[in-house]
Amino acid sequence: MIHAGIHTRTQVNIIYIDSEALETPESECLKNIDAVLVPGGFGERGIEGKICAAQFARENNVPYLGICLGMQVAVIDFAREIGLEKAHSTEFESNTPHPVIALISEWTTDRGDIEQRDENADKGGTMRLGGQNCHLMMGTKTYDLYGKEMIHERHRHRYEFNNNYMGMLRQAGLVFAGLSADGNLVEVVENSHHPWFIGCQFHPEFTSTPRDGHPLFSGFIRAARAYAKEMRL
């Protein structure tokens, strides 16, 4: 975000918030903020607070950028909002009735073969690592930010969006703005009911530089600046 501040000539003040502090209804930790970023992470601790952060941004039209786990909690919140009660990720709730986020188990090898992996498999098990191509959908905010259809971003994760819920969530307004090159994995989501709400499964911070910033971070900071200006009118 500091890189994006340089790139957009914006002073960025970062406030770090313990997500557990957001789990109480009376929490005012997000009051008077101009944007919400939920980064990557793992582990059950504080997960409901991260979901609450996505919910706050969604309900209050605050610019939101979710990275890796940050995208996943945004999907979980969206699913719960449209009536999928107790929707969750199998990483945190294996018995959830609506596993909108689930473990990656089917892989395409470099030879084009399909193989099944589990957590104990070789080659990082179910971990998706390294640079991957992503196809962006024209007409989305993400496409407009990058200005091109095919991008290359770096990944480090085991869990992905469960495509069994794609039709239902798309109908409710979730936009699948980016897919893996083979079209099988969701890489970017947007909320069509929100001015600026983007989640990405990859890690844009890995390719951000002080000179060039990164399209997602620069767009996020510009959205935060516009929101701050509007709120102070």
Q: Kindly report the CATH number assigned to the domain that includes residue 63.
A: 3.40.50.880
Considering the domain boundaries, does residue 110 fall inside one?
A: no
Residues 8 and 43: beta-carbon distance below 8 Å:
no
Secondary structure of the chain: what % helix, strand, coil (to 5)? 30, 25, 45
Q: Render pLDDT for 86-125 as a digit per residue (tens, 0 to 9).
A: 999 999 999 999 999 998 764 444 455 544 555 555 444 4
Show the domain range for 14. Answer: 2-100+129-231
Asked whether the predicted pLDDT for residue 144 surpasses 50, the reply is yes
Q: For the chain, what is the mean pLDDT?
A: 90
**Assigned token pair, 40:** 């990557």
**Assigned token pair, 206:** 């890995």
Considering the domain boundaries, does residue 122 fall inside one?
A: no
* pLDDT for the residue 178: 97
Q: Render pLDDT for 57-95 as a digit per residue (tens, 0 to 9).
A: 999 999 999 999 999 999 999 999 999 999 999 999 999
Q: Which residues contact 221 (CB under 8 A, 6 or more apart)?
A: 1, 4, 5, 8, 10, 12, 35
Considering the domain boundaries, does residue 124 fall inside one?
A: no
Asked whether the predicted pLDDT for residue 213 surpasses 90, the reply is no
Average pLDDT over residues 41-45: 88
Catalytic residue numbers read 68, 203, 205
Q: Within a 10 A sphere around the Cβ of 7, how many other Cβ atoms?
A: 20
Residues 191 and 173: beta-carbon distance below 8 Å:
yes
Give the count of domains, the chain. 1
**Cα(173)–Cα(108) distance, rounded to whole angstroms?**
30
Over 29-52, what HEC string results? CCCCCCCEEECCCCCCCCHHHHHH
Considering the domain boundaries, does residue 227 fall inside one?
A: yes
Considering the domain boundaries, does residue 118 fall inside one?
A: no
